[in-house]
Amino acid sequence: MTLLEIYNKKSQFATRKVGNEMVLVPLKNNIADMSEMFTMNEVACFIWESIDGRNTENVILTSVIEAFEIDLETAATDYDSFLESLSKMMA
Amino acid sequence: MAMLLQTQYLSIGDIKIKLWSKSDITLGVEIGFKSFVIHENIIDSFYDIEIIPSIPQELKNTDSLVFESNDGSQKLWNVCTIPNGYKIIAFDSYQSDTIQQIAFIYPNSKSWIIYTELDSDKTALPLSYPMGPLIMYYLTTVQNAIMIHSSGIVDGEKGRLFSGFSGVGKSTMAGIWQQNGNIAINDDRLMLTISDDKIFMHNTPMFYDDKPKMHQLNAIYLLKQTKEHTIRRLSDAEAISRLLAFCIQHSYDKTFLEHHLKMVFDIYNLIPIYELGFKLNSDVIDFIRSHE
């Protein structure tokens, strides 16, 4: 799933930030399926907020590296893992 | 001006409801609602629900269907979008294809409508299952309230709520506390409301008669059965997502989801939420009291 596709589906979620984390609940044509509820840690939350329909993967990764003072490899692993989970949830 | 031939006032949690009809019918409520009926008009702010006898054929369509609820072969209810609200079609629990009520609810208005079929003696039961619980649910979505699968116990001045998946022991936990002289608000479903930074738990009409009960809530326990008692205070997203999982919610409307998330967030900010691993015996009471 591309960043633009994810951005276009963001409106189908209710979100609530709590501390540095976030809870994500999908809008569905059914009674809420809580097995699909998603919690995001600080890094995932930052990536979620960075997906704005304009930022590229490189821009987001650079921002993650700067914001959390981590190396590219760690940032890329976090990024890929989060986007994979998000893509599954949005499929 | 039409004469109001029938009016019933109900008070459930913090929610006040006026049921009325212009028609020459008897307005009844099922046994679970009877103790929630207020006999004098002392309510100054209520949801006004007009009851109209018989359901016109043209209302039975399912255009703009957003949700179908069924229990295997049994249809329970359908939800369709309408301008500024929802149409809820409730089926007879014993005759799946028979529509027993259609409600028109408007979240931004306090005037709702229920069309209902009548009994042979011209009695209307507009809140018969499943319409009653559905109306209660939709009312919570426009109030500072939320419904949750849980049992609620009053231990002296302290109110505790126990929630968890079906079969985990919510009712059993309530029974253990009751056997030790404590009061159960309900052992299956509670309405939580927030007022002046305090949370209150209320019972709601069930399938049996019970008087309205409420108490301030001081702590929430999410249950799991374990070999030894364990307790862990939950924080941040874990606390909110796990509590939300046990709240009653319909997820086809984002405003409902946002309402529920906000309610759970507010609850989290006011009282502790624990994960409680427990064995089914009465020493769990002492364990809880000593670990808070």
Instruction: Look at the block and give the residue holding tokens 């299952």.
Output: B129
User: pLDDT higher for B85 or A30?
Assistant: B85
What ipTM describes this predicted complex?
0.85
Residue B166: which of B90, B246, B81 has the closest Cα? B246
| DSSP structural state of residue A76 | H
Per-residue pLDDT band for B122 (boundaries 50, 70, 90) equals: confident
Q: In what order do the strands lie in the sheet with A21-26?
A: A13-18, A21-26, A38-40
Per-residue pLDDT band for B281 (boundaries 50, 70, 90) equals: confident
Instruction: Report the Cα–Cα distance between both ends of chain A, in Å, rounded.
Output: 9
Greatest mean pLDDT among A37-46, B67-76, B90-99, B172-181: B172-181
| Distance from C-alpha of B66 to C-alpha of B250, rounded to nearest angstrom | 11
Domain boundaries, chain B: 6-140, 145-291
| Distance from C-alpha of B249 to C-alpha of B254, rounded to nearest angstrom | 11
Determine the distance from the C-alpha atom of residue B206 to the mean position of all C-alpha atoms in its chain, rounded to a whole number.
Answer: 9
- B195-211, pLDDT tens digit by residue? 999 999 999 999 999 99
pLDDT of residue B1: 40
pLDDT of residue B97: 84
B20 has pLDDT over 50? yes
Asked whether the beta carbons of B242 and B222 are under 8 A apart, the reply is: yes
pLDDT of residue B91: 94
Give the count of beta carbons closer than 10 Å to the beta carbon of residue B80: 18
HSE toward the beta carbon, residue A37, CA cutoff 13 A: 26
Q: Which whole number is the average pLDDT over B214-233?
A: 96
Round the average pLDDT of chain A to a whole number and report it: 89
Taking the CA of residue B223 and the nearest CA in chain A, the distance in Å comes to: 16
| DSSP structural state of residue B118 | B
- B139-163, pLDDT tens digit by residue? 999 999 999 999 999 999 999 999 9
pLDDT of residue A31: 52
State whether B265 and A22 contact (CB < 8 Å): no
Instruction: Look at the block and give the residue holding tokens 């399912």.
Output: B62
Asked whether the beta carbons of A1 and A90 are under 8 A apart, the reply is: yes
| Distance from C-alpha of A48 to C-alpha of A35, rounded to nearest angstrom | 20
pLDDT of residue B70: 84
State whether B254 and A27 contact (CB < 8 Å): yes
Which residues of B are less than 8 Å from A27 in CB distance?
Answer: 251-254, 257
| Distance from C-alpha of B187 to C-alpha of B160, rounded to nearest angstrom | 12
Taking the CA of residue B241 and the nearest CA in chain A, the distance in Å comes to: 6
State whether A21 and B236 contact (CB < 8 Å): yes
Token duo for residue B145: 């309230």
State whether B261 and A23 contact (CB < 8 Å): yes
Determine the distance from the C-alpha atom of residue B72 to the mean position of all C-alpha atoms in its chain, rounded to a whole number.
Answer: 23
- Pick among A10, A23, A28, A89 to test the B interface (most B CBs inside 10 A): A23
Per-residue pLDDT band for B263 (boundaries 50, 70, 90) equals: very high
CB within 8 Å of A66: residues ≥ 6 apart: none
pLDDT of residue B73: 78
pLDDT of residue B4: 46
Nearest neighbour of A18 by CB, restricted to B240, B252, B254 = B240
Q: Which whole number is the average pLDDT over A42-62?
A: 96
| Distance from C-alpha of B270 to C-alpha of B171, rounded to nearest angstrom | 25
Q: Which residues pair with B51 in a beta bridge?
A: B114
pLDDT of residue A91: 76
State whether A32 and B250 contact (CB < 8 Å): yes
Taking the CA of residue A79 and the nearest CA in chain B, the distance in Å comes to: 19
Cα–Cα distances (Å) from B207 to B100, B157, B215, B220, in that order, read: 17, 28, 21, 25
Give the count of beta carbons closer than 10 Å to the beta carbon of residue B143: 17
Token duo for residue B220: 């929430």
A26 has pLDDT over 90? no
pLDDT of residue A36: 60
Q: Which whole number is the average pLDDT over B165-178?
A: 93
Interface of B with A in 81-120 (CB under 8 A): none
Asked whether the beta carbons of B250 and B190 are under 8 A apart, the reply is: no
Find, in chain A, the residue whose alpha carbon is nearest to that of B80: A29
Written out in words, the top-level CATH class of the domain with range B145-291 is alpha beta
Task: Pinpoint the alpha helices (H) of B227-275.
Answer: 236-244, 254-270
Give the count of beta carbons closer than 10 Å to the beta carbon of residue A6: 18
- Provide, rounded to the nearest whole percent, the portion of chain A with pLDDT above 90: 68
Round the average pLDDT of chain B to a whole number and report it: 92
Q: Which whole number is the average pLDDT over B39-45?
A: 68
pLDDT of residue A30: 55
Asked whether the beta carbons of B55 and B99 are under 8 A apart, the reply is: yes
CB within 8 Å of B112: residues ≥ 6 apart: B47, B48, B49, B50, B103, B104, B105, B106, B135
B23 has pLDDT over 80? yes
- B172-189, pLDDT tens digit by residue? 999 999 999 999 999 999
Taking the CA of residue A2 and the nearest CA in chain B, the distance in Å comes to: 24
- Pick among B251, B265, B273 to test the A interface (most A CBs inside 10 A): B251
Angle ∠(B207,B210,B212) on CA atoms, nearest 5: 120
Asked whether the beta carbons of B20 and B51 are under 8 A apart, the reply is: yes
